[in-house]
A and B are shown apart, each in its own frame.
Chain A
């Protein structure tokens, strides 16, 4: 079945540091890939997505590129802020009308001033 593997956390960075959170996936078809963010005490928010190979999703300075050859979708940001502190979930969904989203375990990011 489908699965998502992402790097263990927590990740602690100083403000303005470069962020990479690794994510790899296993899927039977050609899934769409997502990064969701969960701020403390809140629900899930879609951060960015990519629907086909070589697509780059980007939002709020975050970006991730759909790499089919390495089955990866690593999240990057050039300069993190304290407000980026949250849990980040890599996820996938097979194409089709009602396919479930499969989530990774989440990576907690803490940014310190």
Chain B
């Protein structure tokens, strides 16, 4: 069964450093997302991406964050200068095109990358 994969599973970095979290969405999906979950809290939406541009972003997704689809398979989240409060689990998700499939917008989530900022 196709699945979303994420690397690395755990990333430790120093405050102020740049990190890139990587995701490989399901191959025929066209919509991509990043979410984060601070330890013990709920999962929060960060950004959605379609047709090589951001569709929607939350207030959390400030100028320190960026997303990119550098090739036909990877989808990355970059944090330019990490802060302590960026420590969280980051989930990537993807969904297929809705029209023609009865409006199927189910998002499939990856296993997450745990980011620890020291």
Residues on A lying within 8 angstroms of B by beta carbon are 32, 34, 36, 42-46, 49, 51, 89, 93, 95-106
Residue pair B105, A46 in contact (C-beta under 8 Å): no
| Residue interface bits B6-29, CB-to-A below 8 A is 1, else 0 | 000000000000000000000000
Residue pair A89, B43 in contact (C-beta under 8 Å): yes
- Please list 15 pairs of residues, one from A and one from B, whose beta carbons are closer than 8 Å in the complex, sorted by A's number: A34-B106, A44-B112, A46-B109, A49-B106, A95-B98, A95-B103, A95-B105, A98-B55, A98-B95, A100-B33, A100-B45, A100-B58, A101-B93, A105-B41, A105-B42
B34 to chain A, nearest CB (A): 10
Residues on B lying within 8 angstroms of A by beta carbon are 30-31, 33, 35, 41-45, 48, 50, 55-56, 58, 89, 91, 93, 95, 97-99, 103, 105-112
